[in-house]
Amino acid sequence: MQQLQVEPASFPSVPPPSLTDPAVIARHEWAAFGEVNEMVNHWDRPGWTASTRAYYWMITFPGAPALIQRVQQCQQALRSLAFDDIAEDGLHLTLGRIGPSAEIALDQLDHLLATVQHTTCPPFTLRAIPMTASRGAIRFSVAPWAPLIELHAMLSAAGNKAGLPPRKPTSWFRPHIGISYCNRPVPSDTVRNAVKPLHDLDAVEVEITQVHIVELRRERSAYRWEVIRTLDLRTREPL
């Protein structure tokens, strides 16, 4: 198992003490948000313009009605914050940035996908746990982290072989599912008070069977993408 490291650029900077226990992961992320004094504008990001396009590894959730329903329930409960809600077709879990699309040819992506397909990573069940936040977004905690870390490491290794390594190493990876982006500086206490009642909601299970290479762009206050290639997760066949 790839070991996570303390990394100030990640959130939370310190990994949770368990990568499998949903309660431990959720408590850890809520405690990390408790150390945030003010949320920042998520969209204030150097390097992103209306013309920016980049390839990412991403898990999406178009066939997850229970998750979508829970997301919309939480968004409605938090409407008074006036954040930028993520639409149901924009829900995602980012696994890593591959690189700018202007610098990467499609045949390089085909080579990357072929390299990945020589390895195996089985489908798995993920729990989306209401509710926490980071420096710039409101989000679900997810559990377990272990299969996501294994998947990230597999994609990173394949990218290295194909000459397209992800920008951030697996040791910095902190999986989550965002539901609303902060669009201005906001005292974090305001957000904590709004989010805390949602902790009593049940987690939602989602089956993860595919990972996509997408071309990502920004449109106003949202991320949009086109799916370029798809990797089907598969169980290792017995010898």
The per-residue pLDDT for range 191-214, each reduced to its tens digit, is 999 999 999 999 999 999 999 999
Q: Which of 81-90, 163-172, 218-227 has the lowest mean pLDDT?
A: 163-172
Predicted confidence at residue 118, as pLDDT, reads: 78
* Measured distance CA(177)–CA(142) in Å, rounded: 7
CA atoms within 13 A on the CB side of 79: 4
Bridge partners of 121, per DSSP, are 234
C-alpha torsion sign, points 83, 73, 14, 4: negative
Cα angle 48, 208, 25 (rounded to 5 degrees) comes to: 75
Domains and CATH numbers, the chain: 24-42+51-232 (3.90.1140.10)
**151 pLDDT exceeds 90?**
yes
Percentage of residues in the chain having pLDDT higher than 90: 85
**Would you list the DSSP string of 182-209?**
--S-EEHHHHHHHHGGGGGSPPEEEEE-
For the stretch 29-75, pLDDT in tens is 999 999 999 999 999 988 788 889 999 999 999 989 999 999 999 99
Q: What pLDDT score does 120 carry?
A: 75
Task: Give me the mean pLDDT over the 84-106 stretch.
Answer: 96
Q: pLDDT category, 237, cuts 50, 70, 90?
A: low
Residue 234 has pLDDT above 90, yes or no: no
User: Mean pLDDT, the chain, as a whole number?
Assistant: 94
What's the CA gap between 219 and 32, in Å, rounded? Answer: 30
**Whole-angstrom distance between the N-terminal and C-terminal Cα of the chain?**
22
pLDDT of the residue at 117 = 83
224: left (phi over 0), alpha (psi -120 to 50) or beta: beta
pLDDT at 49: 82
> What is the pairing mode between strands 92-100 and 210-218?
unpaired
Q: What's the pLDDT score for residue 236? A: 60
pLDDT computed for residue 3 by the predictor: 82
Q: Read off the tokens for 231.
A: 């990797």
Return the higher-pLDDT residue of 141 and 237. 141
Contact 123, 235 (CB under 8 A): yes
More confident site: 50 or 17: 17
Distance of CA 20 to the CA centre of its chain: 17
Q: What is the pLDDT of residue 239?
A: 41
Which pLDDT score, from 0 to 100, does residue 2 have? 61
- Which pLDDT does position 44 carry in this prediction? 92
Which positions ≥6 away from 86 have C-beta within 8 Å?
Answer: 71, 178, 179, 180, 181, 222
What pLDDT is stored for residue 238 in this prediction? 44
Phi, then psi, of 212 in degrees rounded to 5: -115, 145
* CA–CA distance, 195 with 52 (Å, rounded to integer): 32
Percentage above 70 pLDDT, the chain: 97
